[in-house]
Chain A
Amino acid sequence: MLRLIGQRLLVAIPTMLLVSIVVFGLQKLLPGDPVLTTAGDARDPQTLTYLREKYHLNEPVPVQYVRWLGAALHGDLGQSLRTGQSVTALIGQKLPVTLELSLLAMGVALLVGIPAGIISAVRRGTVVDLGANLVALSGLSVPHFWLGVLLILVFAVNLGWFPAGGFVPLNEGLGGNLVALTLPALVLGAGLAAALMRHTRGAMLSVLRSDYVRTARAKGLLPPTIVLKHAFRNALVPIVTVSTLLFGDLLGGAVLTEQVFTIPGFGKMLVDAVFTRDYAVVQGVVLCVALAFILLNMVADLLYLALNPRLRSA
Chain B
Amino acid sequence: MLRILVVLGLLIAWQAAAAESTLRIGLQDDPDMLDPALGRSYSGRIVFTALCDKLVDTTPDLTIVPQLATAWTLSEDGETLTFKLRPGVTFQDGEPFNADAVKANIERYLTLPESVRKSELASVASVVVIDAMTVALKLNHPDATLLAQLTDRAGMMVAPKAASSADFAAHPVCSGPYRFGQRVAQDRIVLNRFPGYWNASAYHFDHVIYRPIPDASVRLANLRASDLDFMEHLAPTDVAQVQSLPNLSVMRISGLGYANILFNIANGPKSKNPFGADKRVRQAFELSIDREAINQVVFNGLYAPNNQPFPPVSPYYDKALTIPKRDVTAARALLQQAGVATPVTVELVVPSDSLTQQVAQIVQAMTGEAGFDVHLRVTEFATMLQEQVAGNYQASMDQWSGRIDPDGNIYAFVTCHGSFNFTGYCNEDVDRLLNAARTVSDFAKRKPLYDEAQGILLTDLPHLYLFTEPRLFAATKKLQGFVPHPDGLIRLENVSLAQ
Contacts and interface: CB of A to CB of B under 8 A. Distances in A.
Contacts of B130: none
A157 B42 CA distance: 29
A119 to B, nearest CB: 35
B429 interface: no
Nearest to A152: B221
A140 B392 CA distance: 42
A275 B380 contact: yes
Interface in A107-165: 149, 152-153, 156-157, 160, 163-165
Interface stretch (B12-20, B53-61, B209-217, B324-332): B209-217
Contact of A264 (B32, B117, B186, B224): B186
A290 to B, nearest CB: 22
Given A45-B419, A275-B381, A264 B118 contact: no
Nearest to A169: B184
A46 interface: yes
B221 A153 contact: yes
Contact of B116 (A42, A163, A259, A272): A42
B224 A164 contact: yes
Nearest to B38: A84
A37 B214 contact: no
Given A160-B225, A275-B382, 5 more contacts: A31-B382, A32-B380, A149-B218, A156-B225, A269-B186
Nearest to A263: B187
B419 to A, nearest CB: 5
24 contacts: A31-B382, A32-B386, A36-B385, A36-B389, A37-B385, A40-B40, A40-B41, A41-B401, A50-B113, A83-B32, A84-B32, A93-B185, A94-B185, A157-B221, A164-B218, A164-B225, A164-B227, A165-B221, A166-B188, A166-B222, A166-B227, A262-B222, A264-B185, A268-B186
A43 interface: yes
A191 to B, nearest CB: 19
B218 A152 contact: yes
A163 B420 CA distance: 43
Nearest to B29: A272
A45 B116 CA distance: 10
Contacts of A46: 118
- Residue from the set A32, A163, A268 with the largest chain B CB neighbour count within 10 Å: A32
Interface residues of A, number: 49
Q: For B222, B224, B381, B420, which residue has the most chain A Cβ atoms within 10 angstroms? A: B222
A90 B183 CA distance: 11
A42 B187 CA distance: 25
A32 B385 CA distance: 7
B221 A47 contact: no
A162 B380 CA distance: 34
Contact of A259 (B211, B215, B419): B215
B116 A31 contact: no
Nearest to B352: A275
Nearest to B380: A275
Contacts of A201: none
Interface in B286-341: none
A276 interface: yes
B184 A264 contact: yes
Identify the interface centre among A46, A90, A262, A272: most chain B CB within 10 Å of its CB: A262
A209 interface: no
Given A50-B114, A166-B187, A262 B213 contact: yes
B145 to A, nearest CB: 14
A37 B186 CA distance: 18
Given A164-B222, A165-B222, A259-B218, A156 B381 contact: no
Contacts of A230: none
Interface string B31-57: 011000010111000000000000000
Interface string B103-147: 000000000011111110000000000000000000000000000
Interface string B187-231: 110000000000000000000000111110110011011110000
Contacts of A58: none
Nearest to A156: B225
Contacts of B382: 30-34, 37, 275-277
A38 B29 CA distance: 13
Contacts of B226: 160
A156 B227 contact: yes
A276 B226 CA distance: 31
A211 interface: no
A45 B421 CA distance: 13
A84 to B, nearest CB: 5
Contact of A39 (B40, B184, B188): B40
Nearest to B223: A164
B95 interface: no
Interface string A289-310: 0000000000000000000000
Contacts of A165: 213, 218, 221-222, 227
